[in-house]
Amino acid sequence: MTENNNRQHQITRKTNETDIQLAFQIDGAGKNELDTGVPFMNHMLDLFAKHGHFDLTVKAVGDIDIDDHHTTEDIGICLGLALKEALGDKKGIRRYGNSFVPMDETLAQVVVDLSNRPHLEFRAEFPQGKVGTFDTELVHEFLWKLALEARMNLHVILHYGSNTHHMIEAIFKALGRALDEATSIDPRVKGVPSTKGML
């Protein structure tokens, strides 16, 4: 791991399964450079960054000759760690975020609490097991590792939909928008937004 300043963080994580370099900036402009080896994740992370106004760089090399599982999961781990470090002491943040995003026939909602209490509530079922070559069950794996390492409470609710691509796309857009709200600075907040005095 490297520096944390101006609400940004860079991380390098190498295992026997993946080698990932990731840079994340909260107060960005939606710029990204994505080379994950998993085309569908490139697409979803692009949506996440643009709708959250985050700057995101991901370079990942993984054992995608087996499948996309390890790469997708480990990107979630790295993004969660980077988000946690970029937030620093969390002073002045809104803490909570909520976003509804429609995508044609689909409506997704993501609600986050940057609480330091990791939890994923995933209320989504996809009609198809794959989008192209991507296993749709990996959406849950990515989000769970993201929530765990960022130490946030993450609720994902898919209200309705029929097209699997649209459903996942709406979730990632809503995730970016909800996190944009939760990480934003509220000038009315003095210290951290918790009666405990810490998050």
Q: Indicate yes or no: pTM above 0.85.
A: yes
Q: How do residues 107-142 score in pLDDT, each as one tens digit?
A: 999 999 999 999 999 999 999 999 999 999 999 999
Dihedral over alpha carbons 14, 16, 18, 23 (to 10 degrees): -10
Q: How do residues 146-187 score in pLDDT, each as one tens digit?
A: 999 999 999 999 999 999 999 999 999 999 999 999 999 999
